[in-house]
Amino acid sequence: MSGPAPVPRPAQRVPAMVRREELISALDEVLKTTPLLDVTIKQVARTAGNCPIGTFYRHFDGLQALATALMETKQAVCREQLTEHIAAIAHLFDVEKRLPAA
């Protein structure tokens, strides 16, 4: 005879900013296999770990707003990388008084 069945634990609540980032990442993942015009909110929500549709709408007005957030995220990463590369080149130029070989 076994003991009592384990009591299911309540679902962990995901912080709002984490959920927002999960939705942005989910769109990025979905876009690897699906053209933007064919993407659905349901697809993105499922890819984000079965995020409720209502939660999606608490963060974004629709797919256009989500796509805009994804583009802003990608631009911020590119801008940061470009700034780091420019700083590294400027440092090399200052140290060696010449541009590094291409």
The residue extents of the domains of the chain are 16-96
How far apart CA 12 and CA 96 sit, in angstroms, is 54
Domain 16-96 has CATH 3.40.50.1860: no
Q: What is the pLDDT of residues 35-94, one digit of tens each?
A: 999 999 999 999 999 899 999 999 999 999 999 999 999 999 999 999 999 988 888 877
| Distance between CA atoms of residues 36 and 50, nearest Å | 20
The SS3 of residue 86 is helix
- pLDDT of 24 > 60? The answer is yes
pLDDT band for 100, please (50, 70, 90 cuts). Answer: low
Which of helix, strand or coil describes residue 39?
Answer: coil
With 80 as the cut, is the pLDDT of residue 6 above it? no
Mean pLDDT of 27-42: 96
Of the two residues 61 and 5, the one the predictor is more confident about is 61
Overall average pLDDT of the 3-32 stretch: 80
Token code pair at residue 35: 């053209």
pLDDT of residue 78: 94
Q: Is 53 exposed, middle or buried (0-12, 13-18, 19+ CB in 10 A)?
A: exposed
pLDDT at residue 12, rounded to an integer: 61
